A and B are shown apart, each in its own frame.
Chain A
């Protein structure tokens, strides 16, 4: 790993642990007597989701979604499509979409639009880092770890060209 690209630590490992615990406490309280389905958006959410899941004392399930861009034929416009769909049904389920970072909100509005027709009982967004000043469309984010600006971040799931996701902290990227 090229450590020269790792800048100032913005959120330490301990701070992340404490904040994830706070969010888990909220979920334990809000979903008491329910069995929510945690939907992780690949790939950035995996560290956040696994830490969060282990702190939950309520019954819950885990599933994953992934999206990709496709251009069927030349001349046709690119479209976003699901590349890895959920294995579990969300009909009448309480769904919590878990994400590492939300910026413009365009991707996540698409995610919500894709999931709502499947008629879940409820659907909420839980995000570790919310870049509110880059937001273009409103999203119903119920749980958020941190509000951040527009800096380029790596670690704890956040990557640069698929690297640095495994850093235990969140740092500025200098590359």
Chain B
């Protein structure tokens, strides 16, 4: 049996490719909507279904079988994949089937510019609204994979190939995937061996151009604790002019996907901090679900001292004590 998993950026044509691929191969397409409509009602009541649509956290709750919803879905996916060939869109399937010899994992990507244009046309919205829609949707996908599987969906080692639809249309992409599927039939091989750890998702901050040295130091602390982070991944629009253009935005320094939390490092003088505080207040009003913590200059220096950054000693006790 063949299992093709497709992970996609919002409006990268991943949905269309998955649908066309399933049609052409004559096999079933499993999507999140399919699972919610067809599988979950067997183990979830109306309230559960509503919450499952609202928040990925809910997938970690126990369902009527005693398993979590996540475990139930994994179980159903694996059992179904044993009986028939499938195309699976999203659902963390690239991780669930990472050690399956007959699974192929595809990532569909596209330039931001083109994705924005597609969203503007599809929903008849302006540029800023499209940017926000894409940002929120991508974040939702990323959060789902992180919450449920503690993995970064952008980690390239999770996929056999990435398809860039800037240069390939739906048909070409589908044909490419079918061609690879034929090749893999001859020589099935999993991306990962059973129980093999997924390759590191971050290799430190060497390749990132931090705006401030303080941000690099903070990234070092996060690396020290093996905490995954993204640097300035999202900008939040805060104010718009009469024509709907963004007049004020805020891009927090770090995003910690495991904690679904943004961190802003502020080492500037107090008079400039007031402006930043205003932005954070606005951000919290406009995006109440966003968790953000600010580290002020005084606290930041205490933090560096406490964690001994730039003052490294072997085997030093590093509990978050007073020193």
Contacts and interface: CB of A to CB of B under 8 A. Distances in A.
Interface in A32-88: 41-44, 66-71, 77-80, 83
A80 B225 contact: yes
A154 B323 CA distance: 10
Contacts of B188: none
- The size class of the interface chain B forms with chain A is 35 or more
B227 A109 contact: yes
A25 B243 CA distance: 61
B224 A68 contact: no
Contacts of B319: 41-44, 67, 99, 107
Nearest to B218: A136
Which of A108, A137, A153 counts the most chain B CB atoms within 10 A? Answer: A137
A67 B320 CA distance: 11
A138 B291 CA distance: 10
B261 interface: yes
Interface residues of A, number: 40
B247 interface: no
B320 A101 contact: yes
Contact of A80 (B224, B256, B261, B263): B224
Given A69-B312, A77-B220, A153 B322 contact: yes
Interface string B301-323: 01100111000111111111111
A152 B224 contact: no
A124 interface: no
A102 interface: yes
A123 interface: no
B318 A107 contact: yes
B204 interface: yes
Given A104-B320, A158-B321, 5 more contacts: A42-B317, A71-B314, A80-B318, A106-B221, A107-B319
A146 interface: no
Interface of A: 41-44, 66-71, 77-80, 83, 99, 101-104, 106-110, 113, 134-138, 150, 152-154, 158-161, 173
Nearest to A70: B314
Which of A78, A79, A113 counts the most chain B CB atoms within 10 A? Answer: A78
Interface of B: 204, 220-227, 256, 258-259, 261, 263, 291, 293, 295, 299, 302-303, 306-308, 312-323
Nearest to A138: B259
A114 B52 CA distance: 29
B317 A43 contact: yes
Contacts of A153: 322
A65 to B, nearest CB: 10
A43 B313 CA distance: 18
B75 to A, nearest CB: 18
5 contacts: A102-B320, A107-B318, A137-B227, A138-B291, A158-B322
Which of B204, B220, B227 counts the most chain A CB atoms within 10 A? Answer: B227
A99 B319 CA distance: 10
Nearest to A161: B323
Contact of A68 (B221, B258, B291, B317): B317
Contacts of B223: 77, 79
A126 to B, nearest CB: 15
Contacts of B291: 138
B72 to A, nearest CB: 19
A71 B293 CA distance: 29
A18 to B, nearest CB: 24
B281 to A, nearest CB: 16
A44 to B, nearest CB: 6
Given A77-B204, A79-B224, A107-B225, A152 B315 contact: no
A67 B318 contact: yes
A58 B233 CA distance: 48
Given A71-B312, A83-B315, A150-B299, A137 B261 contact: yes
Contacts of B259: 109, 137-138
B67 to A, nearest CB: 15
Nearest to A102: B320
Given A67-B317, A71-B312, A109-B227, A159 B256 contact: no
Which of A71, A103, A150, A153 counts the most chain B CB atoms within 10 A? Answer: A103
B306 to A, nearest CB: 8
B225 A106 contact: yes
B315 A68 contact: yes
Given A69-B224, A77-B204, A136-B261, A107 B320 contact: yes
